Amino acid sequence: MAARIIGTGNYIPEKIIGEKEFLQHQFYDTTHQPIDADPAEIIRKFRGITGIEERRYARPDQQTSDMATMAAREAVADAAIDPETLDGIIVAHNYGNIPSGQVQSDTVPSLAARVKHNLGIRNAGCVAFDVLFGCPGWIQGMIIANQFLKTGAAKRYLVIGAETLSRVLDVHDRDSMIYADGAGAVIAEWDDAPDSGILSTASRSFTYDEVYYLNFETSLKPGATPGTRFIRMQGRKIYEFALNQVPLAMKACLDQSGIAIDEVKKVFLHQANEKMDEAIGKRFFALYGKESVPAHMMPMTIHKLGNSSVATVPTLLDLVRKGKLPEHELHAGDVILLASVGAGMNINAIVYKV
């Protein structure tokens, strides 16, 4: 008996932001000094490290809750259910609704409450709430929903990850090119079948030395946009932290499930950085004595969609589940591993049998 995914959906914004959009940017370093390099060269090196060629931004008239609603509607349709039968809605995000051109985040009412309203759900027993857990927020939402389902307190949950990082980026920060917008959604329900669904979970929070690896700071350009703060990350520290800790959490989760490494068909990692994900995958398999990651094991969308935080994993899952990524597909009985890392610093993982 386990929580089983019965429907998925996503919303990928139509607005494509290519590399040429950053050619006129003046980038600054962490000492607030201009970077004396051609923006084209900075962009080329950035692509070589992250793998990102394009990213998607929400339209000016779109909010995070709007994208969450669109992904939710697609998941509801895919599951072929009446939304009134939902016992709960969880929306994972980090910055709420930030109207285009403004700096103040709007989180009251919660984004989950807005999604429930947008779906027209009257059922008061459908409890709607938000989760703030950094980029791993959607997986954490699934872990929370799984607990409700396991106890019998609920039968069916809608879990969404949605973010508009384009509203909190500093255009003078090279790392701003990594961020993107989007939403992904999953409907999970309790299934009495003994051998499918969520088999195990793992969550970790590292807050002693690592808590401010990702935070809010003023612009790297002195005097720019006073009174406004932007997302800032310590890229090198996050990279090293992720390589050291994420594979261990993934292994703990897989070992708990009792599934052998050779039975895992796909690994869905948070899409933050191509090289980092490849290194995490390699270290994870090395923990089991494997010299390399099997071919077609790790689907990626980072190249064209960028890093949409909590939306990357559910969007990736939806695309693979519906056969929209070349060389990747899922079949009944397949075992997959989902994992993420992000602000907190937080890490989590789920082992799931299709």
Q: Tell me how far apart the alpha carbons of residues 286 and 33 are, in angstroms, rounded to a whole number.
A: 41
Q: What does the pLDDT average to over 276-301?
A: 95
Instruction: Note the pLDDT of residue 185.
Output: 98
The domain in which residue 170 lies consists of: 2-193
Judged against a pLDDT cut of 80, whether residue 19 lies above it is answered with: yes
Instruction: Note the pLDDT of residue 102.
Output: 84
Summarised one tens digit per residue, pLDDT across range 22-74 is 998 999 999 999 998 998 999 999 999 999 999 999 999 999 999 999 999 99
Shared-domain flag, residues 183 and 207: no
Summarised one tens digit per residue, pLDDT across range 225-274 is 888 999 999 989 999 999 999 999 999 999 999 999 999 999 999 999 99
Shared-domain flag, residues 36 and 128: yes
Shared-domain flag, residues 170 and 222: no
Shared-domain flag, residues 6 and 154: yes
How many CA atoms lie less than 13 Å away from 290 in the CB half-sphere?
15
Judged against a pLDDT cut of 80, whether residue 12 lies above it is answered with: yes
Of the listed ranges 188-197, 280-289, 316-325, the least confidently predicted one is: 188-197
Shared-domain flag, residues 273 and 144: no
Shared-domain flag, residues 220 and 274: yes
Mean of the per-residue pLDDT values of the chain: 95
Residue type at 114 in one-letter notation: R
Shared-domain flag, residues 283 and 311: yes
Which residue, among 93, 135, 79, has the nearest Cα to 269 in the 3D structure? Answer: 135
Instruction: Note the pLDDT of residue 206.
Output: 97
Residue where a domain terminates, one of 193, 227, 245: 193
Q: Is the peptide bond before 298 cis (omega within 30 degrees of 0)?
A: no
Shared-domain flag, residues 284 and 249: yes
Shared-domain flag, residues 220 and 161: no
Q: CA dihedral defined by 219, 225, 230, 232, rounded to 10 degrees?
A: 0
Instruction: Note the pLDDT of residue 114.
Output: 98
Question: What percent of the chain lies above the pLDDT cut of 90?
Answer: 91
> 193: pLDDT confidence band, cut at 50, 70 and 90?
confident
Q: In total, how many domains does the chain have?
A: 2
Shared-domain flag, residues 144 and 276: no
Residue type at 93 in one-letter notation: H
Shared-domain flag, residues 82 and 170: yes
> 158: pLDDT confidence band, cut at 50, 70 and 90?
very high
Residue where a domain terminates, one of 193, 227, 250: 193
Residue where a domain terminates, one of 157, 175, 193: 193
Judged against a pLDDT cut of 70, whether residue 300 lies above it is answered with: yes
Summarised one tens digit per residue, pLDDT across range 321-343 is 999 998 899 999 999 999 999 99
Shared-domain flag, residues 145 and 210: no
Assessment of whether the complete model's pTM goes beyond 0.85:
yes
The answer to whether residues 167 and 104 touch, using CB atoms and an 8 Å cutoff, is no
Q: Tell me how far apart the alpha carbons of residues 72 and 285 are, in angstroms, rounded to a whole number.
A: 34
Summarised one tens digit per residue, pLDDT across range 79-112 is 999 999 999 999 999 999 999 988 789 999 999 9
Residue 102, domain CATH: 3.40.47.10
> 194: pLDDT confidence band, cut at 50, 70 and 90?
low
Q: Tell the residue number behind the tokens 């970077």, with chain if given.
A: 35
Exposure of 269 by Cβ count < 10 A (0-12 exposed, 13-18 middle, 19+ buried)? buried
Instruction: Note the pLDDT of residue 225.
Output: 87
